Amino acid sequence: MTAVALPESSIVREIVVLDQEPGLFWFGAFRNVNILVWAKGATLDCAKRVDRTNVARTEAHPEKLTTVHIVLPSSGPPEPDAREAFNAMHAQWGHTVGCGALVIERSGFLGVAVRSAIAGMVMVAPKHYRIKVFDAIEAAAPWISENHERSTGVQWSEADVLAVLRAARAAGAG
């Protein structure tokens, strides 16, 4: 794990890179928040790499985790086997999640395909936590701040949410 060196604020310096593959995905953590940035559609390998972090992340944060996925304009939908792997992960680890946010920046036909794939995943996911879809991190920040505190008991200001998500997005966009 390596810290992201971004100059925005001291809070941003707390972001830790858990895994990444430039041009495909970036996966980082900020306290009890997992942040995934998708430059391309998720593959089965990506899902397995994310899953390998679950034991350590949930043990480190018994208060529950918030998960944020940022789907960049360059991304397509997750591959079918990746969807199945994420669905299995939700079934196994959903009880450890406080809330989840998906920021889908992709528009047009492929944006519809991404939204459709994610809607299918949300429909079959266990209903352990609140999840909401947004089209921009600025719109997601207030909801994440409120629901993160409500579900995990950990306060996270809207300004800090926005700073961390902007930094993660920049790191993932490469």
Which pTM value belongs to this model? 0.90
Tens-digit pLDDT profile for residues 113-156 = 888 888 888 777 767 789 999 999 999 999 999 999 999 999 99
Does 1 score more than 70 pLDDT? no
State whether the Cα torsion 18-54-168-112 is positive or negative.
Answer: positive
Placement of tokens 């310096």 in the chain: 13
| Cα end-to-end span (Å), the chain | 17
Q: Domain coordinates of the chain in residue numbers?
A: 2-46+62-173
Amino acid at position 30, single letter: F
Half-sphere exposure of 18 toward its Cβ, with a 13 Å CA cutoff? Answer: 23
- Lookup: tokens for 25: 């995905």
